[in-house]
Amino acid sequence: MATTKTRPKGKRSSKSSPKDQPRVERGEVVRKKKKDKKEKRKKKKGKRTFTAKTADRHELYQFAVQSPDEDVKFLERVYRTYRKKQARHFREDFCGTGLLTSTWIQRHKENTAEGFDIDPEVLAWGVDRNFAPLGEVASRARLHMKDVREPSTTPPDIRSAQNFSYFIFKERRELLEYCKAAYEDLAEDGIFVMDIYGGPETMEVMEEVRKVDEGFTYVWDQDEYWPATGDFQAYIHFRFKDGTELKKAFSYPWRLWSLTEVIDVLKDAGFPKVETYWEGTDKNGVDGNGVYRKSKKGENCLSWVTYLIAVK
Ligand SMILES: C[S@@+](CC[C@H](N)C(=O)[O-])C[C@H]1O[C@@H](n2cnc3c(N)ncnc32)[C@H](O)[C@@H]1O
């Protein structure tokens, strides 16, 4: 996931020396394609006006935080790297509006998918906005209003938990229960993909403010962090050109899990192999470039967003 996509800032390095770069292995994955100038100009022309009164928080979230086309390409490539074939059945945990599920089924006529979320409001929004317009194609997806620890209808080739949503589990036994359920539910040659967010900056009380191409400002507000427990409270606010603001549009009462903790849990859940993919550095030497490569060492940045690939 690259800096323009992720909820928090994503990669921010402190100008590390070449010695500190991760050891790159086979399996390069390009996750984000930078928008070219023409594309940017086109977006600017057709801009809508958002205000706190009229804006829809789910729509703003999708614009600010998600890039489903790049995500799907990443998932396909990673699966091909391990399994040398195409994945067809996909499961999106914590699916929210189901944007990734909807993108997956549109990508190929044989693709099928399931999405899991416990919130009826967000699922209903997704059905209306992300599935109804697809007509017959939508019949290849099934949304479940269920806990992510519940089994799938069909064992998935790829199961994914994006945007750190599993941070909702505050106890190790809950995270383990979830990862065990994922292991048992996957197809025999399935993979489980989780993203994770870390680095020293993630433990600071701070705000990241970013202008979104569609014409509003996104704020990732790290409001609280308790080092004794890992408890972490963040919010998303949206600010508009007319000076209005949608404050606390989304709230995240999480535990900030460390990468090594999650790897240990995945291994305890039964996954024999867990590998991590790290983002490369942009020409400016500070930001991420959207290119993810497998690395054993990682990179010691101020903040980073990394993928965990758990292979069954
Ligand atoms: C941060 S949003 C993720 C939205 C989207 N998948 C994304 O990647 O941006 C987290 C979602 O997880 C859902 N959720 C929280 N706990 C859950 C659980 N135990 N089982 C299923 N869904 C859950 C919430 O309703 C919410 O829609």
- Ligand 1 centroid to 168 CA: how many Å? 9
User: Is a pLDDT exceeding 70 seen at residue 195?
Assistant: yes
- pLDDT recorded at residue 3: 36
Q: Which residues pair with 116 in a beta bridge?
A: 93, 144
- pLDDT recorded at residue 29: 39
Domain boundaries, the chain: 18-87+157-200+257-311
CA distances for 65 relative to 110, 155, 176, 212, 230, angstroms: 28, 28, 27, 9, 24
**Contact (Cβ atoms closer than 8 angstroms) between residue 125 and residue 85:** no
Tell the residue nearest (CA) to atom 13 of ligand 1: 94
CA–CA gap between residue 65 and residue 98 (Å, rounded): 13
Q: What is the mean pLDDT of residues 82-109?
A: 98
Backbone angles phi, psi at 114, to 5 degrees: -135, 140
- Ligand 1 centroid to 254 CA: how many Å? 12
- Ligand 1 centroid to 152 CA: how many Å? 16
Ligand 1 binding pocket includes 94 (Cβ within 6 Å): yes
Ligand 1 binding pocket includes 263 (Cβ within 6 Å): no
Ligand 1 binding pocket includes 168 (Cβ within 6 Å): yes
Vertex 139 angle, CA 137 and 141, to 5° = 95
Tokens of 259: 């990468």
Instruction: Spell out the residues 6+ positions from residue 192 whose beta carbon is closer than 8 angstroms to its own.
Output: 158, 159, 160, 161, 179, 182, 183, 186, 266, 271, 309, 310, 312
Q: Which pLDDT band holds residue 308 (cuts at 50, 70, 90)?
A: very high
Q: Which pLDDT band holds residue 19 (cuts at 50, 70, 90)?
A: very low
Write out the DSSP string of 50-92.
--TTT--HHHHHHHHH--HHHHHHHHHHHHHHHHSS---EEEE
CA distances for 34 relative to 2, 4, 82, 103, 288, angstroms: 10, 9, 26, 19, 11
Ligand 1 binding pocket includes 137 (Cβ within 6 Å): no
Q: What is the pLDDT of residues 242-267, one digit of tens each?
A: 999 999 999 999 999 999 999 999 99
Ligand 1 binding pocket includes 150 (Cβ within 6 Å): no
Instruction: Spell out the residues 6+ positions from residue 4 whose beta carbon is closer than 8 angstroms to its own.
Output: 32, 67, 210
Write out the DSSP string of 142-154.
EEEES-TTSPPSS
Q: Which pLDDT band holds residue 11 (cuts at 50, 70, 90)?
A: low
| Cα R_g (the chain), whole angstroms | 19
Q: What is the pLDDT of residues 124-152, one digit of tens each?
A: 999 999 999 999 999 999 999 999 999 99
* CA-closest candidate to residue 105, choices 95, 94, 114, 96: 114
Q: What is the pLDDT of residues 258-302, one digit of tens each?
A: 999 999 999 999 999 999 999 988 888 878 888 899 999 999 999
- pLDDT recorded at residue 25: 31
Q: Which residues pair with 295 in a beta bridge?
A: 24
Ligand 1 binding pocket includes 165 (Cβ within 6 Å): yes
- Closest ligand 1 atom, residue 65 Cα: 9
Cβ neighbours of 306 (radius 10 Å): 23
